[in-house]
Structure 1
Amino acid sequence: MFFFRPPHKGRVSNLEIFSMAVEALWSNKLRTVLTMLGVIIGITSVIAITSIGQGVQKGVEQQISALGTDVLQVRAGAARSGNIRQGLGSSSTLTWEDAQAIASQAPSANVVSAYLQQNTQLVYGGENTSTTVYGTDLNYPEARNTFPEQGRFFDQEELDIAKQVVVLAPTVQESLFATGVNPIGKNIRIQGEAYQVIGVMEAKGFQGPRDRDDAVYIPLTTMSARIVGNNALTGVSVSGIYVQNSNQEALNAAQFQVTNLLRQRHNIYPPEEDDFSIRNQAELISTLSSVLGLLTLMVVAIAGISLLVGGIGIANIMLVSVVERTREIGIRKAVGATSSAILTQFLTESIFISIVGGAIGIFSGVAIAIIASIVFEFPLVISVLSAIAGVGLSFLVGLLAGVIPAKNAAKLDPITALRSD
């Protein structure tokens, strides 16, 4: 049973109203906890989803930035088999000579590297793995911001004579060699031929769904002559060309220069379509950030619905509470409590439930975000704005949810309330 303190001089202080509200909630602990649950789930969802979404977005940006945001990727056109269009890079429309022309004739191009790629099987002893073999020139490490961590990259002489040397990326090293074994100097087999391991690249992690460390690198001349075995009529065919610029601001100028140069070299005139494509890394980051931002916003909106449901739950429970406490309200009014004091107490109870539930929700949301960032290995981003919004939403939900029940309680006639069972 709830006990009332006698009013002082016909007026109850705000502190006494707050104390009575807390006592009323404490006397019905289970109902209070269940009422808070909707707010807790809503705020937890908003905080956790916002933090996880921003963390994933930042992680993707970091992965792409690690490969250079000042890089253009030129891809060869798509070949056709019958009426089926294959992927970009499947047609021999770009050559090593195109890359050399870009390096010498495009003023905005700082570093240019051509590459030829193919998926194939690698074997070492009793171990084997399927991976992507990249035939590259000497500029590849600088163009892709990827350098050897052990050993070295191949040199000009090895490129000129098409020597059978290979540089491994970390995932391939782990697949072929036991832990602690130094692969430098060992021979692995690519399409049945022996290649000497001369280096291991530094780890770069995933770029979207693709493991950047699941690859090996050999001289472009070796790749063209021994593995792919197909050259364009005008030179050494390549799958693509990386063009690194002096800074990110020069990307658009470089893209314009490279496009015009390749059109001239390939005799392409309007309205003919280009037989190549150019991808801008900065545009890719911007697009991915926009998409991830929209997805995060959508899921946060869904989480906001659960917060709305929590507010409806508070209103429902408080309305029931008014009916259950009708006699109690009558006694308070009989001993001098004003309608304003009754209104304030019920509003205080509703807001208190929301604020405490919101605080628990913020703590839970932050905890979930921390755990997710550790498990899935993306940067931890805790949005202070989300936490402030969570507190504000909690207060607003409690205030709005408590208005009608509080008004109903304040309007009760004391004689009618005292007669109720």
Structure 2
Amino acid sequence: MLFNARKTNVSIYYIEIFTMATEALWSNKLRTGLTMLGMIIGISSVIGITSIGQGVQKATEKEIQSLGTNVLQVFAGAAVRGNVSQGLGSTSTLTWEDAKEMALQASSAEVVSAYLQRQGQVVYEEKNISTTIYGTDLSYPEARNTYPQAGRFFNQEELNGIKQVVVLGPTAKRNLFGDNSNVIGQIIRIQGEAYEVIGIMEAKGSQGPIDRDDGVYIPLTSMSARVVGNNALSGISVNNILVKSSNQEQLLAAQFQITNLLRIRHNIYPPQADDFRITNQADIIKTFSSIVALLTVMVVAIAGISLVVGGIGIANIMLVSVVERTREIGIRKAVGAKNSAILTQFLAEAIIISTLGGGIGIGGGILIAFGAATVFKLPFVISVSSIIIASGLSFGVGLLAGVVPARNAARLDPIAALRSE
């Protein structure tokens, strides 16, 4: 019974301390609100930025994975004009024959597809649009993991016969035909040549600023002969070759085999530089994730400065509060208040300010993250760890910022405090 009585007395004591601290803060609402502002900005920034960074990372990973993480891209070399590189694929160093040899000799390659792309004009009646024209072989849908949602892709006979048939991307179809769903069999003009629409590709969405649905697909032979013109001394020149392995473990083996094969075919020997470049989708994901994580850490660190500023603000306001309430403290000590009670009240005020500011900041951070996810169409990701860390930081900052003012208040001499005006 004695233990329970003591426990009850302690509970009442802390409730009274908390009540007095709350009343003191409420009597100075404007000052309390301004003091909390630094904590609110800091916590909401940390949570919002962390969430947005994770959302961007997940969205990009999803887009890259939709193309397949077990895919290599072999780019043609870069042309140099006036000491300025024109970018990968700007020179004719890869051919369709290279791709065919890869399919035959690279045992780790499950699917090999070559394609040639150019920007060009596509016309239907009065509609004239600029879009990307892809000249591909038959393996392209499997290599890119994208298939027709209506109609079909072109076949071997059409590829061999340089037939003028076309498969439209969803965006190109919408730009040319609007909401008309009956487009199979329609005739469009590509660079002035008539092509029959035989299919519509499935939607793949955007990859950053690039709309992957804005394009048209024609046989590689037709692309080379009718759109680009034969642009290699032998064979058909291509910009890119896609190599798909059965799994990620086979990618390194495929990359090694393809590198050696192309060096032999292109007569490249050390110390000569390769006239091609191979990129790995899995490496792209890892690199991008590392960059986003680094940027997120950097921005969160900057946002953390707001927490430091908020803590300094709490400490300054509490120090001012001690000076303003010197006479109040003197009266309380004169009627028997212990130093520990004064110390606890001022600590409680600092902790209430920081904890309440942290709570509002957490809510603000979640709203910022939700707003960014809605506007930019990103996954809405809230990290539980960031909320826990933010909560701990807000409590810790309040505790640390309140120690010195609370100690100063507790050490005031009651006689000197009562004489204070």
Q: Which residue of 1 aligns with 2:151?
A: 151
Counterpart CA distance in 1 for 2:381 and 2:167 is: 36
Q: Which residue of 1 aligns with 2:275?
A: 275
Matches within 5 A, 1:269-418: 269-418=269-418
Q: Which residue of 1 aligns with 2:89?
A: 89
Matches within 5 A, 1:84-233: 84-233=84-233
Percent of pairs identical after alignment? 70
Q: Which residue of 1 aligns with 2:44?
A: 44
Counterpart CA distance in 2 for 1:281 and 1:9 is: 66
Counterpart CA distance in 1 for 2:267 and 2:76 is: 15
Relative to the length of structure 1, the TM-score reads 0.95
Counterpart CA distance in 1 for 2:212 and 2:147 is: 13
- SS of the aligned residue for 2:189 comes to strand
Moved more, 291-300 or 78-87: 78-87
Query: Could you tell me how far 1:376 is from its partner in structure 2?
Result: 0.5
Count of residues paired in the alignment: 414
Q: Which residue of 2 aligns with 1:14?
A: 14
* 1:76-108 deviations in Å (ceiling 9; x for gaps): 112344544322212221111111110111011
Counterpart CA distance in 2 for 1:110 and 1:118 is: 27
- SS of the aligned residue for 1:109 comes to coil
Letter of the 2:384 partner, please give it: V
Counterpart CA distance in 1 for 2:17 and 2:112 is: 74
Alpha-carbon contact 1:12-1:341 (below 8 Å) kept: no
Alpha-carbon contact 1:120-1:132 (below 8 Å) kept: yes
- SS of the aligned residue for 1:407 comes to helix
Counterpart CA distance in 1 for 2:402 and 2:132 is: 63
Query: Could you tell me how far 1:273 is from its partner in structure 2?
Result: 1.1
Letter of the 1:230 partner, please give it: N
- SS of the aligned residue for 1:262 comes to helix
Counterpart CA distance in 2 for 1:59 and 1:134 is: 25
Query: Could you tell me how far 1:170 is from its partner in structure 2?
Result: 1.4
Letter of the 1:327 partner, please give it: R
Query: Could you tell me how far 1:42 is from its partner in structure 2?
Result: 0.6
Change (3 A) 1:82 1:14: closer
- SS of the aligned residue for 1:375 comes to helix
- SS of the aligned residue for 1:182 comes to coil
- SS of the aligned residue for 1:337 comes to coil
Letter of the 1:273 partner, please give it: A
* 1:349-391 deviations in Å (ceiling 9; x for gaps): 0001101110111011011111211111111110000000010
Counterpart CA distance in 1 for 2:250 and 2:9 is: 78
Letter of the 1:324 partner, please give it: E
- SS of the aligned residue for 2:410 comes to helix
Counterpart CA distance in 2 for 1:9 and 1:185 is: 88
Alpha-carbon contact 1:12-1:337 (below 8 Å) kept: no
Structure 2: tracts of 5 or more residues without a match: 1-7
Change (3 A) 1:52 1:9: closer
Q: 2:264 aligned with 1:264, yes or no?
A: yes
Q: Which residue of 1 aligns with 2:4?
A: none
* 1:330-358 deviations in Å (ceiling 9; x for gaps): 11101100111100100010001101110
Query: Could you tell me how far 1:187 is from its partner in structure 2?
Result: 1.1
- SS of the aligned residue for 1:272 comes to coil
Q: 2:57 aligned with 1:57, yes or no?
A: yes
Change (3 A) 1:47 1:9: closer
Query: Could you tell me how far 1:285 is from its partner in structure 2?
Result: 0.8
Change (3 A) 1:118 1:9: closer
Alpha-carbon contact 1:109-1:244 (below 8 Å) kept: yes
Q: 2:262 aligned with 1:245, yes or no?
A: no
Moved more, 287-296 or 79-88: 79-88
Alpha-carbon contact 1:10-1:336 (below 8 Å) kept: no
Query: Could you tell me how far 1:233 is from its partner in structure 2?
Result: 2.5
Alpha-carbon contact 1:11-1:337 (below 8 Å) kept: no
- SS of the aligned residue for 2:133 comes to strand
Letter of the 1:359 partner, please give it: G
* 1:148-174 deviations in Å (ceiling 9; x for gaps): 112111111111111111111112112
Counterpart CA distance in 2 for 1:16 and 1:10 is: 10
Alpha-carbon contact 1:71-1:242 (below 8 Å) kept: yes
Counterpart CA distance in 2 for 1:80 and 1:49 is: 40
Alpha-carbon contact 1:10-1:337 (below 8 Å) kept: no
Counterpart CA distance in 1 for 2:234 and 2:78 is: 18
* 1:118-142 deviations in Å (ceiling 9; x for gaps): 1111111111111110100010001
Alpha-carbon contact 1:330-1:418 (below 8 Å) kept: yes
Relative to the length of structure 2, the TM-score reads 0.95
Query: Could you tell me how far 1:183 is from its partner in structure 2?
Result: 2.1
Moved more, 227-236 or 400-409: 227-236
Alpha-carbon contact 1:80-1:86 (below 8 Å) kept: yes
Counterpart CA distance in 1 for 2:80 and 2:47 is: 49
Structure 1: tracts of 5 or more residues without a match: 1-7
Q: Which residue of 2 aligns with 1:4?
A: none
